[in-house]
Chains A and B, each alone.
Chain A
Amino acid sequence: MSSGTGFALLVARDMRRFTNAGKPGRRWRMGYGVAGLLALIVLATYESTQHTITLSTIGPVWAISYYIPVISFGFAMSLVLNEWRQNTVGWWLTLPLPRIQLTLAKCLAAVGKAARVSLWTFIAVTILGFYTSFLSTHSLDWASALSFLVAGFRWTLFLLCLCPLTSSLGIMFGTIRQSRWRPALPVAWIAWGMGWVVWSSHHPHWHMGRLIGLRHGSMTAEEMVHLVIDLVASWILAALLTWIAAYLLERQTDL
């Protein structure tokens, strides 16, 4: 057995894993999906006949992807908590791998799941954008189309770069909840919320409009450097949070 292939298998299995407990059945979910899609098509069709919609004016529609870091947090937390809910935690925590590999595998799996959702969101927004623009103007301006896609790609990539941090937070909150540190959970939430508010108020270059190069103008080179530094810092913080989660599983969790 190689620990590398075992680690890769853990990531792949967690990426594939879906939890159906407490959720509606497959037919119901498909029904909701089709209904949502129909509603979107009807809305897009209506709007495109009532207004002039071009790809250059609907760039902010990419904001819909804001939920991606949030769901990566949820994916990560549920990957941890499901080990307890499904009574598989005994298998998971007795694997002959260091705890840091166990938490890292879950973190990467959550990022992978978020990347998959991002891809589907990107495809859906692209199709919907092209559809409404074509219906409204009866033509496609290829320069606007390219600019629309680049803006979406930049925004989606930025959000995906945040996912290691949000996923590691999900892993950490999930393990805190199962550890002897559970009473500290509200404090951790408050600390995180306050930290985020303070931090984001000092980082104006994290504005969506500037990130995707629409309306507020493109980012300057200096802002771009700051952004890269911030993202690298967020990955370092993600590594630290993953390590804390591993420590909690190793030393502060009683089964």
Chain B
Amino acid sequence: MTPALQHKPTFAVECRQVSKRYGQSQALHNLSLSLPQGCSIGILGPNGSGKSTLFRLLMGLTQPDSGHLAVLGRKPSWQTNRDIAYLPDRARWYGGDTVRDAFRYAERLLPGFSRDVARDLADIMEIPLDMKVAGMSRGQEARLMIMVCVARDVPLIILDEPFSGIDLLSRERIIDCLIHHMSRREVTMLVSTHELHEAEPLFDHAVFLNRGELLLSGDADELRAQHGSLERMLRSLYT
């Protein structure tokens, strides 16, 4: 891969001809896209469309086989991770921790984390600080992990399938919290989800991927005006 793009970042994420293959499976194929800063972006598509691979590349968890990739104007690395709050796909939190331990961990290791903001979020999401992760429901654990991400004052938040396996009420509570949080800060948020029905109000911009390639990308309001809703558009694109 060639060195990072050197210009001042006008986009939160820039991909040019990015390809990534796992064995026989082509996860991303010549993907080129630019994602604007300061808005909430839905990365949408069926399983295997390359959403999680894109996020892992942005976090430096894996390397592209070819192409240029820049996040916040720099090549992904552990240094760029200072400025990104990332919720990994299918992640779990450390079972022996209490919520308070998790906040202490985040405060010491994740730049920009505010314990006060996290406590406010814990109140809103009704998660007691002394609760152990091992005793949490899947929904409660998901809320904790989202709190760890959202309580960080960073320019980019990436949430990979934050609602999977979570009941409807927890989903709605998390989405309300995210909308409230986004409205108060200048932050770019990338969210991949299959729960588009509930998550749709989150998005200002939408990107549709299929089999590692870009199908469509655009302003969410314009897409809604053309197709009624992002969910309806998703159905028409993939059926």
The finding on whether chains A and B are genuine partners in a shared complex, rather than unrelated, reads yes
Interface residues, chain A, with chain B CB atoms under 8 Å away: 1, 5-6, 9-10, 13, 16-18, 86-91, 93-99, 251, 253-255
Contact string, B97-122, partner A, CB cutoff 8 A, digits 1/0?
Answer: 00000001101111100000000000
How many residues of chain B are within 8 Å of chain A by beta carbon?
29
Chain A residues with Cβ below 8 Å from B92 are: 86-88
B61 touches A255 (CB 8 A): yes
B110 touches A99 (CB 8 A): no
A95 and B78 in contact, given A9-B109, A254-B22, A255-B56 (Cβ under 8 angstroms): yes
A98 and B78 in contact, given A9-B108, A93-B61 (Cβ under 8 angstroms): yes
A86 and B94 in contact, given A13-B105, A95-B109, A254-B62 (Cβ under 8 angstroms): yes
Interface residues, chain B, with chain A CB atoms under 8 Å away: 22, 56, 59-63, 78-79, 81-82, 84, 86, 88-96, 104-105, 107-111
Query: Which are the 4 A-B pairs with shortest beta-carbon distances?
Result: A90-B88, A96-B82, A87-B92, A96-B81
Output the nearest chain A residue to B93 by Cβ-Cβ distance: A88
Cβ of A177 to closest chain B Cβ, rounded Å = 17
Cβ of A225 to closest chain B Cβ, rounded Å = 41
Q: How many A-B pairs fall under 8 Å by CB?
A: 68
* Chain B residues touching A, majority SS: loop
Listed residue (B60, B63, B92, B109) with the most chain A CB atoms within 10 angstroms of its CB? B109
Chain B residues with Cβ below 8 Å from A87 are: 90-92
Cβ of B67 to closest chain A Cβ, rounded Å = 16
A255 touches B96 (CB 8 A): no
A88 touches B111 (CB 8 A): no
Q: How far is the CA of A16 from the CA of B105 in the complex (A)?
A: 14
Chain B residues with Cβ below 8 Å from A91 are: 88, 91, 93
Chain A residues with Cβ below 8 Å from B22 are: 254
Output the nearest chain A residue to B27 by Cβ-Cβ distance: A254
A96 touches B79 (CB 8 A): yes
Cβ of A81 to closest chain B Cβ, rounded Å = 15
Output the nearest chain B residue to A16 by Cβ-Cβ distance: B96
Which of these, A5, A16, A94, A251, contacts B81 with CB under 8 Å?
A94
Chain A residues with Cβ below 8 Å from B104 are: 9
A86 touches B95 (CB 8 A): yes
Chain B residues with Cβ below 8 Å from A255 are: 56, 61-62
Cβ of B106 to closest chain A Cβ, rounded Å = 10
A6 and B86 in contact, given A18-B96, A95-B78, A255-B62 (Cβ under 8 angstroms): no
Which of these, B78, B84, B89, B110, contacts A90 with CB under 8 Å?
B89
Q: How far is the CA of A77 from the CA of B75 in the complex (A)?
A: 31
Q: How far is the CA of A18 from the CA of B56 in the complex (A)?
A: 28
Q: How far is the CA of A166 from the CA of B58 in the complex (A)?
A: 34
A5 touches B108 (CB 8 A): yes
A88 and B78 in contact, given A17-B96, A93-B61 (Cβ under 8 angstroms): no
Q: How far is the CA of A89 from the CA of B62 in the complex (A)?
A: 13
Chain B residues with Cβ below 8 Å from A93 are: 61
A9 touches B90 (CB 8 A): no
Chain A residues with Cβ below 8 Å from B62 are: 253-255
Output the nearest chain B residue to A89 by Cβ-Cβ distance: B88
B78 touches A96 (CB 8 A): yes
A1 and B109 in contact, given A16-B96, A87-B92 (Cβ under 8 angstroms): yes
B81 touches A1 (CB 8 A): no
Q: How far is the CA of A99 from the CA of B61 in the complex (A)?
A: 11
Enumerate 29 A-B pairs (CB-CB under 8 Å) in ascending A order: A1-B108, A1-B110, A1-B111, A6-B109, A9-B104, A9-B105, A9-B109, A10-B109, A16-B96, A17-B96, A86-B92, A87-B92, A88-B94, A89-B88, A90-B88, A91-B88, A94-B60, A94-B84, A95-B81, A96-B81, A96-B110, A96-B111, A97-B78, A97-B109, A99-B78, A253-B62, A254-B62, A255-B56, A255-B61
A90 touches B91 (CB 8 A): yes
B96 touches A94 (CB 8 A): no
Q: How far is the CA of A16 from the CA of B94 in the complex (A)?
A: 12
Chain B residues with Cβ below 8 Å from A99 are: 78
A94 touches B111 (CB 8 A): no
Output the nearest chain A residue to B112 by Cβ-Cβ distance: A1
A94 and B59 in contact, given A16-B96, A88-B92 (Cβ under 8 angstroms): yes
Chain B residues with Cβ below 8 Å from A10 are: 109
A sample of 5 more A-B contacts (CB under 8 A), given A86-B95, A91-B88, A95-B81, is: A91-B91, A94-B81, A96-B82, A96-B110, A255-B62
